[in-house]
Structure 1
Amino acid sequence: MAKLNPYLNFDGTCEEAFLFYRSVFGGEFRGEIFKMKDIPDMEIPAGAENRVMHVALPVGDDLLMGSDTYPGQPFVVGNNNYISIFPESREEADRLFEALSEGGEVEMPMADQFWGDYFGSLKDCFGIQWMINYPSQDQ
Protein backbone atom coordinates (compact mmCIF):
# COMPACT_ATOMS: atom_id res chain seq x y z
CA MET A 1 0.00 0.00 0.00
CA ALA A 2 1.30 3.46 -0.86
CA LYS A 3 1.95 5.92 1.91
CA LEU A 4 0.91 9.55 1.49
CA ASN A 5 3.03 12.37 2.85
CA PRO A 6 1.95 15.99 2.49
CA TYR A 7 4.43 18.28 0.74
CA LEU A 8 4.06 22.00 1.30
CA ASN A 9 5.47 24.86 -0.78
CA PHE A 10 6.23 28.31 0.61
CA ASP A 11 7.45 31.60 -0.83
CA GLY A 12 10.54 32.06 1.33
CA THR A 13 9.04 31.09 4.72
CA CYS A 14 9.55 27.30 4.63
CA GLU A 15 12.25 27.21 7.30
CA GLU A 16 10.25 29.43 9.64
CA ALA A 17 7.14 27.30 9.07
CA PHE A 18 8.95 24.01 9.72
CA LEU A 19 10.60 25.33 12.87
CA PHE A 20 7.08 26.22 14.01
CA TYR A 21 5.72 22.77 13.08
CA ARG A 22 8.60 21.11 14.91
CA SER A 23 7.70 23.14 18.02
CA VAL A 24 4.12 21.86 17.74
CA PHE A 25 4.78 18.18 16.94
CA GLY A 26 8.23 17.68 18.49
CA GLY A 27 10.93 15.46 17.06
CA GLU A 28 13.83 16.28 14.81
CA PHE A 29 14.12 16.88 11.08
CA ARG A 30 15.02 13.88 8.97
CA GLY A 31 18.46 14.91 7.79
CA GLU A 32 19.23 18.57 7.48
CA ILE A 33 17.33 21.50 6.06
CA PHE A 34 18.74 21.65 2.53
CA LYS A 35 19.01 25.13 1.06
CA MET A 36 19.02 26.22 -2.59
CA LYS A 37 22.75 26.97 -2.24
CA ASP A 38 23.28 23.24 -1.51
CA ILE A 39 22.20 22.23 -5.05
CA PRO A 40 25.42 21.14 -6.79
CA ASP A 41 26.43 22.79 -10.06
CA MET A 42 23.48 25.16 -10.14
CA GLU A 43 23.63 28.93 -10.26
CA ILE A 44 21.15 30.33 -7.77
CA PRO A 45 19.91 33.92 -8.15
CA ALA A 46 21.21 36.39 -5.57
CA GLY A 47 18.99 36.50 -2.51
CA ALA A 48 17.66 32.96 -3.03
CA GLU A 49 20.62 31.05 -1.60
CA ASN A 50 18.95 30.42 1.76
CA ARG A 51 15.55 29.40 0.43
CA VAL A 52 14.74 25.84 1.48
CA MET A 53 15.25 23.21 -1.19
CA HIS A 54 13.87 20.38 0.99
CA VAL A 55 12.97 19.64 4.61
CA ALA A 56 11.25 16.62 6.17
CA LEU A 57 9.75 16.36 9.66
CA PRO A 58 8.61 12.97 10.98
CA VAL A 59 5.17 13.21 12.59
CA GLY A 60 4.26 9.82 14.01
CA ASP A 61 4.73 7.28 11.22
CA ASP A 62 4.41 9.92 8.50
CA LEU A 63 6.52 12.72 7.07
CA LEU A 64 5.59 16.37 6.63
CA MET A 65 7.82 17.71 3.85
CA GLY A 66 8.30 21.10 2.28
CA SER A 67 10.34 23.56 0.27
CA ASP A 68 10.35 27.14 -0.90
CA THR A 69 9.47 27.86 -4.50
CA TYR A 70 12.34 28.67 -6.82
CA PRO A 71 12.66 32.42 -7.50
CA GLY A 72 10.40 33.39 -10.37
CA GLN A 73 8.23 30.31 -9.95
CA PRO A 74 4.62 31.41 -9.41
CA PHE A 75 3.40 30.95 -5.85
CA VAL A 76 -0.27 30.97 -4.90
CA VAL A 77 -1.57 30.07 -1.45
CA GLY A 78 -4.23 27.52 -2.29
CA ASN A 79 -7.46 26.71 -0.55
CA ASN A 80 -7.76 23.16 -1.84
CA ASN A 81 -5.36 21.48 0.60
CA TYR A 82 -5.82 20.39 4.17
CA ILE A 83 -3.57 18.27 6.28
CA SER A 84 -5.74 15.94 8.32
CA ILE A 85 -4.40 14.79 11.68
CA PHE A 86 -5.84 11.95 13.75
CA PRO A 87 -4.47 12.38 17.30
CA GLU A 88 -4.61 9.63 19.91
CA SER A 89 -6.73 11.54 22.45
CA ARG A 90 -9.10 14.48 22.84
CA GLU A 91 -6.45 16.22 24.93
CA GLU A 92 -3.88 15.89 22.14
CA ALA A 93 -6.47 17.11 19.63
CA ASP A 94 -7.01 20.23 21.75
CA ARG A 95 -3.26 20.80 22.19
CA LEU A 96 -2.57 20.53 18.46
CA PHE A 97 -5.54 22.73 17.55
CA GLU A 98 -4.52 25.44 20.02
CA ALA A 99 -0.88 25.42 18.90
CA LEU A 100 -1.59 25.37 15.15
CA SER A 101 -4.28 28.06 15.34
CA GLU A 102 -2.01 30.55 17.12
CA GLY A 103 -1.75 33.55 14.81
CA GLY A 104 -4.02 31.85 12.28
CA GLU A 105 -7.76 31.64 11.63
CA VAL A 106 -10.15 29.15 13.22
CA GLU A 107 -12.55 27.83 10.61
CA MET A 108 -14.44 25.41 12.88
CA PRO A 109 -13.64 25.16 16.60
CA MET A 110 -12.99 21.75 18.15
CA ALA A 111 -16.36 20.21 19.03
CA ASP A 112 -18.28 16.96 18.97
CA GLN A 113 -19.78 16.62 15.50
CA PHE A 114 -22.96 15.03 14.18
CA TRP A 115 -20.98 12.16 12.67
CA GLY A 116 -19.71 11.28 16.14
CA ASP A 117 -16.13 12.56 16.03
CA TYR A 118 -14.39 15.41 17.86
CA PHE A 119 -13.33 17.71 15.03
CA GLY A 120 -12.06 21.18 14.21
CA SER A 121 -10.42 22.97 11.29
CA LEU A 122 -8.19 26.01 10.92
CA LYS A 123 -5.74 27.91 8.75
CA ASP A 124 -2.37 28.42 10.43
CA CYS A 125 -0.32 31.62 10.36
CA PHE A 126 1.40 30.37 7.16
CA GLY A 127 -1.86 29.86 5.23
CA ILE A 128 -1.84 26.05 5.57
CA GLN A 129 -5.23 24.48 6.32
CA TRP A 130 -5.52 21.75 8.97
CA MET A 131 -8.25 19.37 10.12
CA ILE A 132 -7.97 17.80 13.57
CA ASN A 133 -10.17 14.71 13.88
CA TYR A 134 -10.37 12.49 16.95
CA PRO A 135 -12.58 9.52 16.00
CA SER A 136 -15.39 8.46 18.29
CA GLN A 137 -14.68 5.36 20.32
CA ASP A 138 -17.60 3.58 18.59
CA GLN A 139 -15.66 3.20 15.31
Structure 2
Amino acid sequence: MYVQPYVFFNGRCEEALKFYGEAIGAEVLFQMRFKEAPPDAQGQLRPGTEEKIMHASIKSGSTTWMASDGHCDPDAGPMNGFSLSLTADDAASAEKYFNALAEGGKIMMPWQATFWSKGFGMVVDRFGLGWMVTVPEE
Protein backbone atom coordinates (compact mmCIF):
# COMPACT_ATOMS: atom_id res chain seq x y z
CA MET A 1 0.00 0.00 0.00
CA TYR A 2 1.10 3.55 -0.71
CA VAL A 3 -0.64 6.67 0.65
CA GLN A 4 -0.09 10.05 -0.98
CA PRO A 5 -1.19 13.48 0.20
CA TYR A 6 -3.59 15.22 -2.22
CA VAL A 7 -3.85 18.93 -1.39
CA PHE A 8 -6.58 21.27 -2.66
CA PHE A 9 -5.71 24.96 -2.91
CA ASN A 10 -9.14 26.41 -3.77
CA GLY A 11 -8.00 28.39 -6.80
CA ARG A 12 -4.40 29.12 -5.70
CA CYS A 13 -2.67 25.93 -6.84
CA GLU A 14 -0.42 27.50 -9.48
CA GLU A 15 0.76 30.13 -7.00
CA ALA A 16 1.31 27.45 -4.34
CA LEU A 17 3.34 25.20 -6.66
CA LYS A 18 5.59 28.09 -7.62
CA PHE A 19 6.07 28.91 -3.92
CA TYR A 20 6.94 25.30 -3.00
CA GLY A 21 9.37 25.12 -5.92
CA GLU A 22 11.23 28.14 -4.53
CA ALA A 23 10.85 27.27 -0.83
CA ILE A 24 11.67 23.56 -0.77
CA GLY A 25 12.73 22.67 -4.32
CA ALA A 26 9.46 20.94 -5.24
CA GLU A 27 9.28 19.92 -8.90
CA VAL A 28 6.04 19.66 -10.88
CA LEU A 29 6.11 16.30 -12.67
CA PHE A 30 2.71 16.58 -14.37
CA GLN A 31 0.05 19.24 -14.61
CA MET A 32 -3.36 19.37 -16.31
CA ARG A 33 -5.70 22.33 -16.45
CA PHE A 34 -9.48 21.93 -16.36
CA LYS A 35 -9.75 23.01 -20.01
CA GLU A 36 -7.49 20.10 -21.04
CA ALA A 37 -9.80 17.42 -19.62
CA PRO A 38 -12.28 15.58 -21.81
CA PRO A 39 -15.85 16.94 -21.70
CA ASP A 40 -17.88 15.72 -18.72
CA ALA A 41 -21.55 15.03 -19.44
CA GLN A 42 -22.23 15.04 -15.67
CA GLY A 43 -21.11 18.57 -15.01
CA GLN A 44 -19.99 21.86 -16.44
CA LEU A 45 -16.92 23.83 -15.52
CA ARG A 46 -17.53 26.83 -13.34
CA PRO A 47 -16.95 29.89 -15.55
CA GLY A 48 -13.46 31.28 -15.05
CA THR A 49 -11.92 27.98 -13.95
CA GLU A 50 -10.73 26.80 -17.37
CA GLU A 51 -7.11 27.81 -16.65
CA LYS A 52 -7.12 26.46 -13.09
CA ILE A 53 -5.16 23.29 -12.29
CA MET A 54 -7.30 20.17 -12.28
CA HIS A 55 -4.45 17.89 -11.24
CA ALA A 56 -0.72 18.09 -10.60
CA SER A 57 1.88 15.61 -9.40
CA ILE A 58 4.75 17.13 -7.44
CA LYS A 59 8.04 15.64 -6.31
CA SER A 60 9.58 16.93 -3.09
CA GLY A 61 12.72 15.02 -2.22
CA SER A 62 11.79 11.34 -2.42
CA THR A 63 8.04 11.97 -2.03
CA THR A 64 5.50 12.43 -4.79
CA TRP A 65 2.31 14.21 -3.77
CA MET A 66 -0.65 15.64 -5.67
CA ALA A 67 -2.46 18.96 -5.81
CA SER A 68 -5.40 20.71 -7.45
CA ASP A 69 -7.27 24.00 -7.46
CA GLY A 70 -10.30 21.96 -6.43
CA HIS A 71 -13.72 23.55 -6.69
CA CYS A 72 -12.48 27.16 -6.47
CA ASP A 73 -15.27 27.90 -4.01
CA PRO A 74 -15.16 31.50 -2.77
CA ASP A 75 -17.08 30.44 0.38
CA ALA A 76 -14.65 27.67 1.36
CA GLY A 77 -12.85 28.07 4.64
CA PRO A 78 -9.13 27.59 5.24
CA MET A 79 -7.44 24.19 5.24
CA ASN A 80 -7.24 22.50 8.62
CA GLY A 81 -7.00 19.12 10.27
CA PHE A 82 -3.63 17.91 8.99
CA SER A 83 -0.02 18.85 8.35
CA LEU A 84 2.70 17.59 6.06
CA SER A 85 5.86 16.42 7.79
CA LEU A 86 9.10 17.39 6.03
CA THR A 87 12.24 15.57 7.21
CA ALA A 88 15.31 17.25 5.76
CA ASP A 89 18.72 15.68 5.16
CA ASP A 90 20.49 17.96 7.64
CA ALA A 91 19.87 20.76 10.15
CA ALA A 92 20.91 23.60 7.83
CA SER A 93 18.52 22.45 5.08
CA ALA A 94 15.69 21.90 7.55
CA GLU A 95 16.00 25.40 9.01
CA LYS A 96 16.18 26.88 5.49
CA TYR A 97 12.96 25.05 4.49
CA PHE A 98 11.24 26.09 7.72
CA ASN A 99 12.08 29.77 7.19
CA ALA A 100 11.02 29.66 3.53
CA LEU A 101 7.67 28.02 4.37
CA ALA A 102 7.10 30.53 7.19
CA GLU A 103 7.43 33.50 4.83
CA GLY A 104 3.95 35.00 4.66
CA GLY A 105 2.61 32.27 6.94
CA LYS A 106 2.27 31.77 10.68
CA ILE A 107 4.82 30.07 12.91
CA MET A 108 3.06 27.68 15.28
CA MET A 109 6.23 26.44 17.00
CA PRO A 110 9.52 28.26 16.40
CA TRP A 111 12.51 26.41 14.95
CA GLN A 112 14.38 24.91 17.89
CA ALA A 113 16.13 21.90 19.34
CA THR A 114 13.80 19.49 21.12
CA PHE A 115 14.25 16.36 23.19
CA TRP A 116 13.61 14.26 20.05
CA SER A 117 15.44 16.28 17.41
CA LYS A 118 18.29 18.76 16.96
CA GLY A 119 15.82 20.90 15.05
CA PHE A 120 12.03 21.02 14.76
CA GLY A 121 9.43 23.66 13.98
CA MET A 122 5.80 23.94 12.94
CA VAL A 123 4.37 26.48 10.51
CA VAL A 124 1.16 27.13 8.60
CA ASP A 125 2.20 28.51 5.22
CA ARG A 126 0.55 31.37 3.34
CA PHE A 127 -1.88 28.90 1.71
CA GLY A 128 -3.10 27.49 5.02
CA LEU A 129 -1.14 24.23 4.74
CA GLY A 130 0.49 23.03 7.95
CA TRP A 131 4.11 21.82 7.93
CA MET A 132 6.17 20.08 10.59
CA VAL A 133 9.84 20.44 9.65
CA THR A 134 12.41 18.27 11.37
CA VAL A 135 15.94 16.93 11.31
CA PRO A 136 16.25 13.13 11.34
CA GLU A 137 17.62 11.35 14.35
CA GLU A 138 21.29 10.43 14.15
TM range (shorter): 0.7 to 0.9
Q: Where does residue 83 of structure 1 map in the other structure?
A: 84
Instruction: Output the amino acid matched with 2:32.
Output: F
Equivalences for residues 85-100 of structure 1 within 5 A: 85-100=86-101
Residue 92 of structure 2 corresponds to residue 112 of structure 1:
no
Task: Give TM-score, length-normalised by structure 1.
Answer: 0.87
Deviations 1:30-61 (A, max 9, x none): 12x21111111134232111121001111122
Tell me the CA shift for residue 72 of structure 1.
Answer: 5.5
Moved over 3 A (4+): 71-76
Of all paired residues, the percent bearing the same amino acid is 32
Find the aligned partners of 2:102 and 2:114 in 1 and give their Cα distance.
Answer: 19
1:107–1:122: 8 Å Cα contact kept in structure 2? yes
1:10–1:75: 8 Å Cα contact kept in structure 2? no
1:88–1:134: 8 Å Cα contact kept in structure 2? yes
Q: Structure 1 residues 59 and 72, CA, compared in 2 at 3 Å: closer, same or farther?
A: closer
CA RMSD of aligned residues (A): 1.9
Instruction: Output the amino acid matched with 2:25.
Output: G
Equivalences for residues 1-139 of structure 1 within 5 A: 2-26=1-25, 28-31=27-30, 33-42=31-40, 43-71=44-72, 75-137=76-138
Tell me the CA shift for residue 29 of structure 1.
Answer: 1.4
Task: Give TM-score, length-normalised by structure 2.
Answer: 0.87
Moved more, 21-30 or 8-17: 21-30
Aligned length in residues: 135
SS, match of residue 126 in structure 2: coil
